[in-house]
Amino acid sequence: MNPLKLSKTSGNNNGDLPAVPGDPRSSINSQAFLTQQLAIAFALGIPAFLLFCVMRKRWDKLYNSLQDKRKSNLPPLPESTFGWLTTVFNVTDEQVLQSAGLDAFVFLSFFKMAIKFLVAASLFGWIVVAPINQYTGGSFTLQPPKLNTDGSQNSGLLWAYVLFVYAFSGITCYFLWKQTRNITDVRQKFLGHRNSITDRTVRIKGVPGHLRSEESLRNHIISLDIGEVTNVVICRDWRYLDGLVAERKRILRKLERYWITHMNDGKKPKDLDEMRAGISSREYLGSATEPLLHRTSHRRPRIKLGFLGIFGTSIDAIDHFIDRLEDIDKEIKQARRRAYPPTANAFVTFENLASAQLAAQAVLDSDPLSVIAKPACAPQDVVWHNAHLSRRKRALRSSIAFILSAAIIVLWFFPVGAIAAILNIDTLRKFLPGIAGLLEKTTLGTMLVQGFLPTLAFVLFNALVPYLFDLIALHQGFVSRGDAELSVVSKNFFYLFFNLFLIFTVAGTLSNLHAMAKDTTQIPIMLAASLPGVAGFYVNLIVLQGIGVFPFRLLQIGNLFVYPFIKIGAKTPRDHAKLEEAPVFHYGFFLPMPIMVFILCLVYSILEPKILIFGLFYFVIGYFVHKYQLLYSMEHPHHSTGQAWMMIIRRLVIGLVVFQLTMSGMLSLRKAFQLSAAILPLVFTMVFVFYRLIDQAFTPLSQHISLESIHHPSEDDPVVIQSRDPKEQYINPNMVEDFEEMWAAEYGTA
C-alpha cells in the first residue's frame, strides 16, 4: 500500500497529507494537550525542585560533595533556599575550567550557544513566522490550507518559508562558527600552558617488532630529532598478572565481609563510626589476629568449598581467605618479576610539550600503519587491560560493537514503534474496548492516552538504552576511558536520531508500520508528510524533559532511589565509604538528548514556532542543573580535553540538513516544486562548504595544541598553569602499586 494513499480520517481534512483511521497525530497538536502537559510537568518539576532546595542543606555529602575535594576557587554555596541559583549563575568560565576542566566547559558552552540561538530564533518565529502561518491557514500543519477565490491553493507566501530556511540556517551556522572559535581559543590557551606528564606524552600504535623494547624505541624516537625523550613504556601482555590482581581484590572483599560479621557478633553496625571503633586495619594477619578473635563470643563464620558452596567440607571462612590472600600475594610478587611479551602499543614521554605535539602531528614512519602517534590520555584514564590488544583484536571488537549497536538501534524499532502505535484511543478501542470506553468517558482520560502517556513511555523506555551502549563500549577495546565515553555519546545520539525521526515520527499507527515494512522507499516521503503531525508530541517531549525531568535530575532521584538498597548490602568500611563518593557525571548519558532537542527545535522552527520557546526553557533549566552538578555535586573522572565539541558540530550539521530536506519535502507535497528546488543549493552548501570549512579549520586545533600557543602564550590568559606531577606515571598499576590492605587507608581506618 502506498503510504500517501491511505484512507482519510473522517472529520480530518488533511489535503495531500496522509491520514489513517485512528492516527493519534490528528489530535495531539491541540492546545488542550499542551496545557495538560504543562500542568503535569509543573506538577512534577516544582515539588522536585523545592525538595532539592530543602535537602541540599541537609545532605551535604550528596549535593555538595565536591566543594572540599577540589579545593578550588569556587564560591561556597549559601545556606538560603534559593541563593545557590545566583551563586551558580555567577561562576565564570575561567572558574569552570579550573574546577571541572575542558569537558565541562564544552558541555556548558553548548547549552549557552543553544540559548543564544533559541532567543534569536524565537523572536523571528513569533514575530514573523507565526503570523504568516496563521495567514496561510497553517500550510504545514494538518489543517487545510486557505484557497484562492478560483479554488487554487494560496501559495503566495510560500516564498517566505524558503527565506526562513535560509535565515535559520544562517543563524545556526553563525553561532556554530562563533562558539567553535571561542572553544578552540580557550582550548589552546588552557592546554598550551600546561606541562603535566599527560601533555608531554603520546601513545604510539603500530610499533614494529624490532622496536618493541624501551631502549630501542627510545633511541629511534630520539633519532628523529623531535626532542628529548624522558620515558618509554612498552605495553605488554599483562593478562596473567591482571587476573591475579583481580582475584586478590575479590578475595580481600570476601575476607573483609566475613571479618566484619565476626567482629560484630553477626550484627550489623549502626553506622560507619561504630564499625571503625571495633576493628583494626592492621591486625588481621599472623599472630596479631588471635587477640582480636577472643574479643567476640559469636561463632566464627564457616563456608563449604564444594559445588555452589552447598557441598563439601565445612571450614573456617576467615582462616581460609587469609591463607588464600597470603598465597596470592606470593604469586603476584613472582608474577611482577616475569618477562611479558611486548605488543605494538607504547607510551612515549618527552621532555617538553612542544616535542610531544610535533610527534603527534607528524608522520613518523614511511611504513603504513607503523609508529602512529596521537596525544595520550591521562595515566588514570588508561584502560591497561586493553592496552595490550593487537590491531586485529581491537578491529574485531570494534566490528562486534558496531553490529551490536546497530542491532539495538534498529531492533528498538519494534518496541518504540509499538508504543507509538498502541498509545492511541482507536487502537485501544480495537484491542481493549473496555479500557478505551472508560477513557473516552472523560476528556482527561483521552488526553492522558493521546498526550502524556506516549511521551512518558518514550522517555522511560529509552532511558535504558545508554546503559546498553555503555556496556558495549566497556568491552570494545578502548585504551582511554574518555574515548569509550565519547563512543557512548555517538551511539546514544544515533539511536535517538534514528528512532525519533525514522520510527516514532512515521509510526503513528499500525497501518503506517505496515506501510513502512512493505515499501521502505517511501520512508523519506512519509517523514516529510508526518513531521507536522507529531509536532505536538515533540513539544510535549521537550516540556516534560525540561520542566518535569530536569528537577528530578537535580535531585538525583536515581541515586536516592537505589541508595537504601546499596546501604542494606553495605557491610564493610569500604562499602560504606563508597556510599559517600560523589556520583559520576557521564556525558554519554547526558549529552545526546540535548543535541536531539536542539535539532528538534531547528526542524520545527518554521513548522511549529512555539517549540522554540519551550526549547529555550529546556536549555535554560538544563544549563543551571548541569552547571551545578559539574561544579558541586557530581564527579567526571574521565577527561577528553573537549573532544566532544566536534562531535556536537557534526551532529548539528546533520540536523541542519534534515531541517532543509524536510522543508524541501514539505514544499514538494504542496506542489511548490520550484520553491522546493530553491532549498537544495543550501543543502549542498551545508554539506560541501560549511561542514568542510569548519572541519578543516578546527578539527586539527581540537585534537592538537599549536606551537604558537606553547611558545607564545597570551599574557592575559586567566588559566592557571599546571605543573608536573611526579606521582603520575604511565605504567600498569598492577606492576608497582602496594598491595591493597584490609580497610585500606582511603577508607578511614588505617
CATH number, domain containing residue 354: 3.30.70.330
Residue 684: how many CB atoms within 10 A of its CB?
11
153 within domain boundaries: no
pLDDT value, residue 713 = 65
Dmax over CA atoms of the chain, in Å, equals: 105
Pick the last residue of a domain from 376, 402, 423.
376
**Containing structural domain, residue 306:** 240-337+735-747
Block means of pLDDT (10 residues each) for the chain, length 750 residues? 36 36 41 75 91 84 70 78 89 88 93 95 84 64 47 62 91 94 91 85 93 94 92 93 93 84 58 46 38 50 76 81 89 93 94 92 90 91 90 91 90 70 65 68 63 67 85 90 91 87 62 60 64 81 90 83 74 75 86 94 89 94 94 81 91 92 83 86 89 90 87 57 58 86 49
| SS3 (DSSP) at 204 | strand
Whether residues 531 and 674 fall in one domain? yes
696 within domain boundaries: yes
381 within domain boundaries: no
Whether residues 546 and 595 fall in one domain? yes
Whether residues 522 and 630 fall in one domain? yes
Whether residues 344 and 328 fall in one domain? no
pLDDT value, residue 602 = 93
Whether residues 473 and 601 fall in one domain? yes
Whether residues 415 and 363 fall in one domain? no
CA pair distance 268, 271, nearest whole angstrom: 9
Nearest-5° angle of CA 725, CA 727, CA 733? 135
pLDDT value, residue 232 = 94
Whether residues 295 and 420 fall in one domain? no
pLDDT value, residue 519 = 65
In this structure, are residues 221 and 359 in contact, taking their beta carbons and an 8 Å threshold?
Answer: yes
Whether residues 328 and 396 fall in one domain? no
Q: For residue 450, what is its C-alpha cell?
A: 493521546
Residue 303 burial class via C-beta count within 10 angstroms: exposed 0-12, middle 13-18, buried 19 and up: middle
Q: Considering only CA atoms, which of 420, 456, 622 is closest in space to residue 43?
A: 456
Pick the last residue of a domain from 317, 349, 376.
376
Whether residues 41 and 170 fall in one domain? yes
547 within domain boundaries: yes
pLDDT value, residue 7 = 33
The alpha-helical segments, DSSP class H, found in 463-570 are 465-474, 481-497, 510-518, 523-530, 535-543, 550-555, 557-569
81 within domain boundaries: no
Q: Considering only CA atoms, which of 236, 202, 198 is closest in space to residue 371?
A: 202
CA pair distance 207, 509, nearest whole angstrom: 56
Do strands 372-375 and 229-236 pair parallel, antiparallel, or not at all (unpaired)? unpaired
In this structure, are residues 633 and 66 in contact, taking their beta carbons and an 8 Å threshold?
Answer: yes
318 within domain boundaries: yes
Q: Report residue 315: phi and psi, to 5°.
A: -130, 165
CA–CA distances in Å: residue 463 to residues 451, 459, 536: 19, 6, 21
634 within domain boundaries: yes
Whether residues 281 and 366 fall in one domain? no
pLDDT value, residue 615 = 95
Whether residues 513 and 657 fall in one domain? yes
| Count of domains observed in the chain | 3
Residue 506: how many CB atoms within 10 A of its CB?
28
253 within domain boundaries: yes
Whether residues 557 and 620 fall in one domain? yes
Do strands 314-316 and 342-350 pair parallel, antiparallel, or not at all (unpaired)? unpaired
